[in-house]
Amino acid sequence: MDMKILGIETSCDETSASVVEVNRGKFKVLSEVVSSQIKIHRKTGGIVPEVAAREHVRNILPVIEQAVFKANLARASWRGRPGSLASGRSLLPILSDIDYIAVTAGPGLITSLMVGVEAAKTLAFVFDKKLVAVNHLAGHLASSLLLNKNIKLPALGLVVSGGHTALYLLKKFGRYEYIGGTQDDAAGEAFDKTAKLLGLPYPGGPEISRLAKLGNPDKYVMPQPMRNKPNFDFSFSGIKTHVLYEYQKNPREYKKNINDVAASFEKTVAEILTFKTLRAAKKFKARSIILAGGVAANVRLRETLSVKTLENDLALFVPELKYCTDNATMIAVAAYLQIQKKDFTNIFKLKANPNWEL
Ligand code: KG4
Ligand code: ZN
C-alpha cells in the first residue's frame, strides 16, 4: 500500500508539518518543517502555555504550506487569493496528492494540541481526506522506523522526553504495553529543572549536555532513586533536589565546578535509565531496544545504552537527532501503522486529549 501522509504536530512548543511517502513499507521524507519556539520560551525560562498556543496559531498555516510546497507534489498547485491566509503572503497548495492527514491529538498542552487538531480537521474536511489521530508517544516510538531497518521484536521502547519517561513492550509495532515509568518528573523535566536552578537557559537538556562534555562525571555522587526497587519505574525529582541542596550548601564551589555537576547529573540519569531498561529487556526477553524522545538526543545516554545493549546481545535503535525532539515526521510514520489497520478518526468528533494514555 503506497501512500503520502501529511503529518502535523503541535503538542508542545514546536509547530511542525511533514510529508512522508511510504513505498512498500519503506519511509521516505519528502519534506519536513519545524518552527521552534525555544527563543520565545527562553525569555520566561520555560513554556507559558498561552504564549505557545498563540505562536502555534501564528505558524500553523505557513508551516503546513511550506511542507506541502517543499514536498514538490506532482499535482500541488496554488489556490486562493494573495494574503488570504495567516501567513499573509502564501497560498494554501491544494492537497490533491496527499492521501491521509495525521495529527497529534495528545498527550500534551491542551491549548497547543488544539491548534494542530483543528487545523488538521479543517483540512481533512475541505480536501476530503481521511484523518488519523496519533498519540504523541506512539509518534516518538515510531521514529526509529525511519531508519528503515528490520527491528526484531519483541522490543522494549524507552520514551524519554520533557513530558514523559516510560517503558513499553512492543510485541508488534503499533501496539504498546506500558510496563513502567516515572513516578514524578520526566527525565527531560529533570534536566530542565536542574539546569534552571544552576542558572542555565531553557531548555536545560542541551545546556547540561554541552557543559557535561567538559566535566568529570565521577566528581559528584548523586542518588539513584528507585534503582533497587524490583520494578520498571523511575524517579528523578530526588536527583534534582539533591543538586539543589548541594548547591545551597556551597553555591560558590558548585558554580565553579558546574561542568562536573552537569557531567555527574547526566551520568546518573543515563545510568538509571539504562539499568531499568536492561532489567526490563531481560524480564520480557526483548531482542531490541528502541530509544525515543527529546532526551534520546543525549550523547551519554546513547553511549551508555549502546555499551550495555552490546554486552547483552541486544540490538539498539536510536533515531537520527532531528527525530528525537518533537517533529511531525514521526507522527506521519506512526499514522502509517494505524492506516494499515484502518484506524481513522471521525473529523467531527475528534478532540485534543491532553491526557491521552498510550
Ligand atoms: O520530545 P521533546 O522534544 O518534547 C516533549 O515531548 O517533551 O523533548 C524535549 C526534552 C526537553 O526536556 C529537553 O531538555 C530534552 O528533551 N533534551 C535533552 C537533550 N536535547 C533535548 N536532554 C538531554 N540531553 C539533550 N541533548
Ligand atoms: Zn515529544
Q: Per-residue pLDDT tens for 27-39? A: 999 999 999 888 8
Ligand 1 geometric centre to CA of 89 (Å): 33
> What pLDDT, in 10s, does the model give residues 307-322?
999 999 999 999 999 9
CB environment 53-73: b (16+ within 10 A), e (fewer)? bbbbbbbbbbbbbbbbbbbeb
Ligand 1 geometric centre to CA of 238 (Å): 19
Cell of 26: 519503506
Angle (deg, nearest 10), helices 258-283 and 204-212: 110
pLDDT at 92: 60
Ligand 1 geometric centre to CA of 188 (Å): 5
Residue 249's Cβ-count burial label (10 Å; 0-12, 13-18, 19+) is: exposed
Q: Which of 9, 125, 109, 108 is closest to 63 using CA atoms?
A: 9
Mean residue pLDDT across the chain? 93
Residue 99's Cβ-count burial label (10 Å; 0-12, 13-18, 19+) is: middle
Whether the CB of 297 sits within 6 Å of ligand 1: yes
pLDDT at 93: 62
Range name among 48-52, 77-81, 330-334 with the lowest pLDDT average: 77-81
pLDDT at 305: 98
Tell me how far apart the alpha carbons of residues 349 and 117 are, in angstroms, rounded to a whole number: 11
pLDDT at 81: 40
Tell me how far apart the alpha carbons of residues 244 and 197 are, in angstroms, rounded to a whole number: 7
Tell me how far apart the alpha carbons of residues 248 and 260 are, in angstroms, rounded to a whole number: 16
pLDDT at 80: 44
Range name among 84-88, 171-175, 291-295 with the lowest pLDDT average: 84-88
pLDDT at 47: 87
> What pLDDT, in 10s, does the model give residues 234-250?
999 999 999 999 999 99
Mean pLDDT of all residues in 72-97: 55
Whether the CB of 319 sits within 6 Å of ligand 1: no
Pocket test for ligand 1, best of 265, 295, 299 (most atoms within 8 A of CB): 295
